[in-house]
Structure 1
Amino acid sequence: MTLDDGRTLSWYEYGDPTGRPCLFLPGVGTSGRAGITLDAAATADGIRLLSVNRPGLGHSDPAPARRVADWAGDVEQWADHLGLDRFGLIGHSAGAAYALAVAHRLPDRVHGTMVGAGSPPYSEEWTRADGMMSRVSRLYYGLALRAPRLFGALYHLSTPRSVKAVDRLMALATRGTSPDAQFARAYPDETRASLEALADGCRQGSAGPTQDIVLLCRPWGFDLLDVTGPVEWWHGEQDGNVSPRSGREMTSRLPQVTTHFVDGGHYVLFAHAREVMAALRRTSDHGGRD
């Protein structure tokens, strides 16, 4: 579709085409193709999964000089375009920030928000306390914020762009005994699809993914305390990307939240996809009210 400012917004659709609509927002720099990882669970639970490309990712045009909160304006136009009066939200990792932005702006249209391993607002002081971020995460986000061109060049080099490159990353993903490696071995098709979606996010180059990351490190433009609708939060106790301590701090700031801190790694949302869809269906049945 074409937005009011002339930009193109694109998305993928999975699940049940006649089901209850839900907007899925995948992790940082990842295109909407990642929605295929939830296709089977969405189909089984009667969910129409609409996996939207954020600015500069996939086929969506870039949008400079933005905040995370501004994304909700694009979604409002998109929902009007599709005639969606009410819909659910699922956000994974960095996608959780964008999901919460929509829940904040459109409380009367969002019946429930499901979060998996949600990234914190890295501009806030509390995120720099011990145990909130790994050393790798500090380097990753710090480089994106302070040297975006260098970060973009490195991101471009590390993103898989061929079948062989995906194969190499698949081999790395399945090594070891971590929960994420176990997930990759148990769900190879979903893992491969997520890597292909990462490549699709770089369709227009690395500028879009870099901005997607930088926005997480700047003020989001809304306060978590003002996200008043129901949120269900899944987080793996062994998550090496977004620490469980960070997740607990995030959930302590959300007024209406149900938490699920369980055994698992960063992809716990996908490992519990049927439970997530069932929870989403419940919020739809109850109109977003407990």
Structure 2
Amino acid sequence: MDVDYGIRKAARLGQTRLPDGRLLGWAEWGPVDGTPVLLCPGAATSRGLAFGGGVVDAAGVRLVSVDRPGLGTSDPAPERTLTSWATDIRHLIRERALRAPSAVGFSQGAPFALALAASGLVNAVAVVSGSDEIAHPRFTHSLNPQVRGMVDAVVADAVAAEDSFADFGDASALWELIITTSAEPDRAVYTDPVFQRAFRQAMDEAFDQGPAGYARDTILAMSPWPFDPTDITVPVDLWYGRQDTSPVHSPDLGASLTRMIPTATRHLLPTVGGSLLWTHAEDVLHTLLAHSR
């Protein structure tokens, strides 16, 4: 029997014009009058790769996936920051009437989702297989050596590092990196024919404007966060699989971040890896909705 990882075509696609004239692209699933959940996608993927397609309608969730500037259908903002991202989303929330939204941040989308919490824009967050603040001193001796070198390069010369990330960044290279660094439970998900087709399409869309958007995301993910996690006051669920072998997710699978965020709860699943957004979508969404409702 085929496994259903919740991959569905979007119910609605669009772009919202921001006050500075840029367009911010988004995709929606679920009922338009449902409980809004903002999705901050993982690295180098577009709005098109969502999750929980078989769950959102029954759960009454209006899932809104947003292309970050320079990726997919969102206009570039070369000097953007996590703080300016929150400003963009503040406008989107108002324009799209997303009343009392919560947020999900997958992988590299985690700091973007937490930035929304730090700015008071969402009432709960689910971090799923999330990137951590790997530039923080608590990870000085625990990073993968290659990742440590990337963080050091960003600290030494962020402009040169961003150029380097842009030179590396393309959909095929990143796909190979994901497959070669993933554990077997994750490769089984990512190479499923339906999932792989959607994943690769979302990566191709993310690079439609070139690699600059991906490179900027990577700089932000490897720099110190402009907010203090200890100041976050809304519920935060940190979801990790013990089999996750990604070198750019949290080095301690969210253990220290759980201690830092006063409102955090960690869910560490023993038999799954980094793909749990798609293997455990119902658990993630129902736990998130319990906070927002």
TM-score for the superposition, normalised by structure 1? 0.84
Where in structure 2 are the equivalents of 1:1-290 lying within 5 Å? 1-35=16-50, 37-106=51-120, 109-130=121-142, 133-139=143-149, 145=158, 146-156=160-170, 158-159=172-173, 173=179, 178-184=184-190, 187-241=192-246, 242-243=249-250, 245-263=252-270, 264-285=272-293
Cα deviation 1:199-257 (Å, max 9, x = unaligned): 21111000011001111122321011111100111101121112451511111111101
> Offset at 1:143?
6.1
Q: Which runs of 5+ in 2 are unaligned?
A: 1-15
SS in 2 for 1:111: coil
Cα deviation 1:80-115 (Å, max 9, x = unaligned): 001222111111011010000001112xx5221111
SS in 1 for 2:266: strand
Q: Distance in 2 between matches of 1:176 and 1:119?
A: 15
> Offset at 1:158?
3.3
Q: 1:248 to 1:153 in 2, by over 3 A?
A: same
Cα deviation 1:113-145 (Å, max 9, x = unaligned): 111011112322222222xx3234335555675
Which residue does the alignment assign to 2:12? none
SS in 2 for 1:147: helix
Q: Distance in 2 between matches of 1:91 and 1:202?
A: 20
> Offset at 1:4?
1.0
Are the equivalent residues in 1 in contact too, given 2:183–2:243 (CA < 8 A)? no
Q: 1:175 to 1:3 in 2, by over 3 A?
A: closer
Q: Distance in 1 between matches of 2:150 and 2:64?
A: 29
Are the equivalent residues in 2 in contact too, given 1:67–1:219 (CA < 8 A)? no
Q: Distance in 2 between matches of 1:112 and 1:190?
A: 28
Amino acid at match of 1:69: T
Are the equivalent residues in 2 in contact too, given 1:25–1:91 (CA < 8 A)? yes
Q: Distance in 2 between matches of 1:268 and 1:190?
A: 13
CA RMSD of aligned residues (A): 2.5
Amino acid at match of 2:93: A
More displaced 10-residue stretch of structure 1: 133-142 or 195-204:
133-142
Amino acid at match of 2:69: P
Aligned length: 271
More displaced 10-residue stretch of structure 1: 199-208 or 215-224:
215-224
Cα deviation 1:163-199 (Å, max 9, x = unaligned): xxx8xx6xx94999622123335x5423431222122
Are the equivalent residues in 1 in contact too, given 2:254–2:266 (CA < 8 A)? no
TM-score for the superposition, normalised by structure 2? 0.84
Q: Which runs of 5+ in 1 are unaligned?
A: 161-165, 286-290
> Offset at 1:281?
1.9
Q: 1:159 to 1:18 in 2, by over 3 A?
A: farther
Q: Distance in 1 between matches of 2:229 and 2:214?
A: 24
SS in 2 for 1:13: strand
Higher helix share: 1
